[in-house]
């Protein structure tokens, strides 16, 4: 059984004060996180501490949006996994915006995954093709290459602690989501297929895989009806408490 996981990727949004407000709204509307769904909030680094304090002992988890792979040292402006381990349970690694704007590669993604796992942080590893690759019918090839790069050198026991997010880049922030069956096929073939080749069928079936890209309350059910999709990585809709809560509720309903 794979517990569905809904993660809100706030990206570069929300001050400390705004974070407190959004966390309060989400908790007020949702109450406790439902039993059937793991709910993760990924605010900016600057908000992790207040979010952690305001969540207290509730069942919501926190995630960072990035990290650097060294534990400490002269790396001005970077944040280490050791620092994050005190604040968060998860860390998003390899988001397409980091690949696109900040020079993230399959190699740096791999280093970051290893560094996160070494301190007990659970990576949410993002993979997905850009529009030109999608249109050229190269989706599976691209995602397989990203998967092999990201997971190189890992052992099956480590992969248990990893979540993967399939995010077609053309669907992120565009309002043009993939289709449920389309996303499911990529996850089944390219993501679980590569996991099976690298780590065996059991790991491939046990690993949780989210869909991401223009997820809304209106389309979440279409994704959660798919057998290989175990939740979502939600960007824009995670900034509105009502939308995010509806996405969590719809996931609980679809997966129960
Ligand atoms: P979106 O972003 O939901 O705004 O498309 C998803 C993501 O980037 O993780």
For 199-243, how does the pLDDT look when each residue is reduced to its tens digit (9 = 90+)? Answer: 999 999 999 999 999 999 999 999 999 999 999 999 999 999 999
pLDDT at 32 over 80: no
> For 76, phi and psi rounded to 5 degrees?
-50, 125
Q: Which two tokens stand for residue 218?
A: 């209106």
With a Cβ cut-off of 6 Å, ligand 1 is lined by 9, 167, 172-173, 212-215, 233-237
pLDDT at 33 over 80: no
Residue 74: predicted pLDDT:
98
The string of DSSP codes covering 154-188 is --HHHHTT-EEEE--GGGTTTS----HHHHHHHII
The single residue of 38, 95, 133, 246 carrying the catalytic annotation is 95
Residue 1: predicted pLDDT:
85
Query: Among the atoms of ligand 1, which is closest to the Cα of residue 234?
Result: 3
For 38-74, how does the pLDDT look when each residue is reduced to its tens digit (9 = 90+)? Answer: 999 999 999 999 999 999 888 899 999 999 999 999 9
For 148-186, how does the pLDDT look when each residue is reduced to its tens digit (9 = 90+)? Answer: 999 999 999 999 999 999 999 999 999 999 999 999 999
95 as an active site residue: the answer is yes
Query: Mean pLDDT, the chain, as a whole number?
Result: 97
Query: Quick check: pTM over 0.95?
Result: yes
Residue 2 to residue 5: CA distance in whole angstroms: 9
């Amino acid at each position: 059984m794979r517990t569905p996981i809904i993660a809100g990727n706030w990206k570069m949004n929300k001050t400390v004060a705004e974070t407190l407000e959004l966390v309060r709204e989400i908790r007020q509307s949702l109450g406790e996180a439902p039993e059937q769904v793991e709910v993760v909030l990924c605010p900016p680094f600057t908000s992790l501490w207040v979010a952690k304090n305001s969540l207290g002992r509730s069942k919501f988890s926190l995630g960072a949006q990035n990290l650097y792979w060294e534990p400490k040292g002269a790396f001005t402006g970077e944040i280490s996994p050791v620092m994050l381990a005190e604040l968060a349970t998860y860390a998003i690694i390899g988001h397409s915006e980091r690949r696109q704007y900040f020079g993230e590669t399959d190699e740096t993604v791999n280093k970051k995954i290893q560094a996160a796992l070494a301190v007990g942080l659970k990576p949410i590893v993002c993979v997905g093709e850009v529009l030109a690759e999608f249109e050229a019918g190269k989706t599976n090839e691209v995602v397989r290459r990203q998967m092999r790069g990201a997971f190189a050198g890992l052992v099956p026991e480590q992969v248990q602690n990893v979540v993967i997010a399939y995010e077609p880049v053309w669907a992120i922030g565009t309002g043009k989501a993939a289709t449920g069956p389309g996303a499911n096929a990529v996850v089944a073939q390219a993501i679980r297929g590569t996991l099976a080749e690298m780590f065996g069928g059991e790991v491939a079936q046990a690993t949780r895989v989210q869909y991401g890209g223009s997820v809304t309350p209106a389309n979440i059910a279409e994704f959660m009806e798919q057998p290989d999709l175990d939740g979502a990585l939600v960007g824009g809709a995670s900034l509105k408490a009502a939308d995010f809560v509806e996405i969590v509720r719809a996931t609980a309903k679809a997966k129960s």
